Amino acid sequence: MSIDTLADAFYNELRDIYSAEKQLLQALPKMAAKASSSELRQAFELHLKETEQQIDRVERAFEDTGKAARAKTCEAMKGLIEEADGTMEEDAAETVMDAMLIACAQKIEHYEIATYGTLCAWADSLGYGNALKLLKQNINEEEMTDEKLSSLAQSINKSAMAVH
C-alpha cells in the first residue's frame, strides 16, 4: 500500500492498532491466569472486556476511511506480548511476578495510548468525527487502565519488596 496522504497514514495506523487489540485479546487471559493478586486478575479481566469493545470501536472507526476493516500485523504489540510471555515463564515469587506483569501491561498500555493519541490527532485533522469520537473512548479507557495498574503497583511492589 502506498502511503501518499495523511488519510493513507491514518488508515495504515488504524489497521495496526486493530491488529494490536486483537493480539492483546489473546494475551490478557494468560496474564490474568498468571496473576496471584485477585485485584490484578480482575483488572486484566476487566480490560479484556474493554478490549473487546475497543476492537468494535476500531472496526466502526474504519467507516470514516471508506475502506474495509483489515488488520495489518502490529509488530510492536507482537514484541510486547512476546516479552510478557517470556516474563510469565520466569521462576519468580508470586508477588514479584505480579509486579513484573504490571510492568509488562503498562508497556502495552503506553504503546496503545501513544497510538490512539496519534490516531485522534489525525482523525481530528482529517475531519473524521465519528472515528475521533470512537478512538477517544478507547484512549480514555487505556489511560484509566494505566492509572489502575499504577495504583495496584503501589501495594504489589511493597509486597514484592518483602520477598526474601
| Within-domain flag for 112 | yes
Is 1 inside any structural domain? no
d(CA 119, CA 17): 9
**Full residue range of the structural domain in which residue 115 is found:** 6-84+93-161
Q: Is 12 within the bounds of a domain?
A: yes
pLDDT tens by residue, 60-84: 999 999 999 999 999 999 999 999 9
Give the CATH number, domain containing residue 156.
1.20.1260.10
Considering the domain boundaries, does residue 67 fall inside one? yes
Show the cell assigned to 38. Answer: 485477585
Answer whether residue 150 shows pLDDT above 80: yes
* Residue 21 placed within a domain: yes
Q: Does 110 reside within a domain?
A: yes
- Phi and psi (nearest 5°) for 150? -65, -40
> Among 145, 118, 129, which Cα is nearest to 51's?
145
The three state secondary structure string of 19-71 is HHHHHHHHHHHHHHHHCCCHHHHHHHHHHHHHHHHHHHHHHHHHHHHCCCCCC
Q: How many domains does the chain have?
A: 1
Determine if the pTM surpasses 0.85: yes
* Residue 49 belongs to a domain: yes
Residue range 126-132: average pLDDT? 98
Average confidence (pLDDT) over 103-125: 98
Is 21:55 a contact under the CB 8 Å cutoff?
yes
pLDDT over threshold 70, residue 100: yes
Residue 51 lies in a domain: yes
